[in-house]
Amino acid sequence: MTPEETARVDGLNEFFGARVPGLLGVVFDRCNHDEVVGHIDVAGPLIAGTGFLFAPAVIALADTLAAAGTGEFLDYEANESFTTIELKTNFLGSAREGERVVGRATPTHIGRSTQVWDVIVTNETVGRTIALFRNTQMVLRR
């Protein structure tokens, strides 16, 4: 990673650390215009009664990565912001306690008023895709 990307990742981890993504264990590993990567190490509090990772934790990981990517394309000097207007997740598998779940977000559409991000979430421990996520963001201009 470049020093700029390292600083960006450190800033994201610091910003989200005390917020819901951080409380769920979301950690950013990489963030640039082409890709945002992060992970969750699955711990006991994230396990549903079924013995598998709660689905909302997967959605939180994917949505947070897409949000960080969206921010890469905003003009903060013009006071631009954004909000999620749609998200969809197809679940193909899950994870158990002690496993690592990794999300890789990539931009599908970067427009003037909307952005679309796809996130593939993988159970890195077993090497299987567990979710396909698509997120549409609306760019807000003040």
Per-domain boundaries in the chain:
3-140
What is the distance between the alpha carbons of residues 55 and 16, in angstroms, rounded to a whole number? 20
What is the distance between the alpha carbons of residues 113 and 27, in angstroms, rounded to a whole number? 28
Which residue ranges of the chain lie beneath pLDDT 70? none
Q: Give one DSSP letter per residue of 55-116, joined into a string.
A: HHHHHHHHHHHHHHHHHTT--GGGT-EEEEEEEEEEE-----TT-EEEEEEEEEEE-SSEEE
Q: How much is the pTM?
A: 0.95
Nearest Cα to Cα of residue 98 among 50, 21, 44: 44
Strand-strand pairing, 100-110 and 36-41: antiparallel
What is the assigned CATH class of domain 3-140?
alpha beta
For residue 45, the model assigns a pLDDT of 96
For residue 1, the model assigns a pLDDT of 83
For residue 140, the model assigns a pLDDT of 95
